[in-house]
Structure 1
């Protein structure tokens, strides 16, 4: 499976990096391909290192202006002109999307995928790994949108929430 991962390009403390590393090991050991932002920085670089060490493949999709942060050793590294093209390319190559902890860029990526999915334009699984309750506020907001009629599809059809890396793969199989 080609698993697209949205996450931080910043180095984070162990409470966030350890679950990300465990997820990456499971991805690689499962023979899957990591499709990600292509960066060697922060959590993105950690993911790539762990996936590669566990035998998985790496497909990086980067914006040209960040090519100096490209992951050396990726099986494929694609350059795009801008962020919009990058997001389209990531989505088109994904069999599933997994969201780890991240900042504004991660939020931009996941909300775009959920909007596409809401309209039936992206029918692949989306799972958020809710490490340390990082996405509890987002989950609460999405649940409110669902209950109050702001979503044309049930929330469970749009996104799953996992508490552990192993649970991510259980949700992807379901």
Structure 2
């Protein structure tokens, strides 16, 4: 077993236009099973009462009141985060979890499964942010990327945070979390 047990996976609600993306999701699932890691994921559906968000953890479905509560619950229960190729929702969740790391809310690994270069432009944007002085060079290491599940999980297990948090953990208190960390 690896350094962490529970992985939160951010992904699109469909598999995209190319088979390679669905295959990559299946490969990640196999790698997680092989390493005996649990999957933490969230989703939403529209019902009679409007948006209902849910988080699945260890086979348990938790109904939460809103998207922030869902993300906080997923982050609290996960030891690491992986983003598969996806759309706006995947990007939003990914960027928030990266920002939480930069702020010092958590120090868990954040990985991009960069299938067929899907995230090359985003990684280039992060590099441009460093070049232009908007992202601290030490914070660039928050995001780990690889083209295969096996390589990504290996890099994530080796991850050691080296960036300087920009806010003290004590100043961040997510509802129901008294010590300020996730």
TM-score by length of structure 2 reads: 0.74
Structure 2 SS opposite 1:85 = helix
Query: Which digits, 9 at most, give the CA deviation of each residue in 1:86-109, with x for residues without a partner?
Result: 111111111000110111100110
1:138 aligns to 2:125 (yes or no) = no
Q: If you compute each CA radius of gyration, which structure gives the higher value, 1 or 2?
A: 2
- Aligned residue in 2 for 1:77: 61
Distance in 2, matches of 1:113 and 1:152, equals 17
Instruction: Choose which of 146, 150, 153 in structure 1 pairs with 2:134.
Output: 150
Deviation at 1:157, TM superposition (A): 2.7
1:7 aligns to 2:4 (yes or no) = no
Alignment of 1:8-157 (within 5 A): 8-12=12-16, 13-37=18-42, 65=52, 75-152=59-136, 154-157=138-141
- Aligned residue in 2 for 1:49: none
- Aligned residue in 2 for 1:56: none
Deviation at 1:21, TM superposition (A): 0.5
Gaps of 5+ in 2: 45-49, 159-182
- Aligned residue in 1 for 2:157: 173
Query: Which digits, 9 at most, give the CA deviation of each residue in 1:125-158, with x for residues without a partner?
Result: 0010000111111000001111222123524431
Structure having the higher helix fraction is 1
Distance in 2, matches of 1:28 and 1:38, equals 21
